Amino acid sequence: VISPQALPGNTWWSGDMPVLLNAVIDEVAETYQVDTDRIYLTGLSMGGYGTWYMATGYPEKFAAVASISGSGYRTETMPPLETLCILKDTPIWAIHGAQDLISDPKASELYAGTLRDSCDGNVKWTLYPDTGHLQTFTRAYRDPELYDWFLSHTR
């Protein structure tokens, strides 16, 4: 498990952050016994936002991707919708809380729906009706189904 934090003053979608994270993943895979067909990507909040960038930037790297409350702060800064079809063969699970006042669940739903409907992607969309921003992470990461779902996928 690699659990990085964005560098101070950066976001997961700005500057070299995706490139740096990719280099960390590669170094860990070269240094340790890593099944490279089972590299999974997940993030919450700003990290969930960053999962869309990492996944579209390195679609061949991940066996499955889960973005939790990851729609970003402004929809216009999300990766362009037309880039999503590069993920059509990557299982994606977008999870958001309907009561989230920090990141817009409609943007996550738009991404999941675009990937599913326009790209024929393998996408799962979950909207918890009763959770806000922080409660969504807790609920998602406590659910064994998320881990079973990850493990059911290989690259």
**Long-range pairs for 6-11 at CB < 8 Å and ≥24 separation?**
6/46, 6/47, 6/50, 11/46, 11/49, 11/50
| pLDDT confidence tier of residue 40, bands split at 50, 70 and 90 | very high
Contact of 51 with 69, CB cutoff 8 Å: no
Q: Tens of pLDDT along 52-79?
A: 889 999 999 999 999 999 875 455 556 6
Domains and CATH numbers, the chain: 34-151 (3.40.50.1820)
* Nearest to 68, CA basis, from 87, 86, 90, 46: 46
The Cα–Cα gap between 66 and 138 comes to: 14
Q: Tens of pLDDT along 94-152?
A: 999 999 999 899 989 998 999 999 999 999 999 999 999 999 999 999 999 999 999 99
Contact of 45 with 137, CB cutoff 8 Å: yes
Instruction: Report which of residues 65 and 80 the model is more confident about.
Output: 65
Amino acid at 117: D
Q: Which residues are registered as beta bridge partners of 123?
A: 92
Q: Which residues are registered as beta bridge partners of 64?
A: 40
- Please state the pTM of the whole predicted model: 0.91
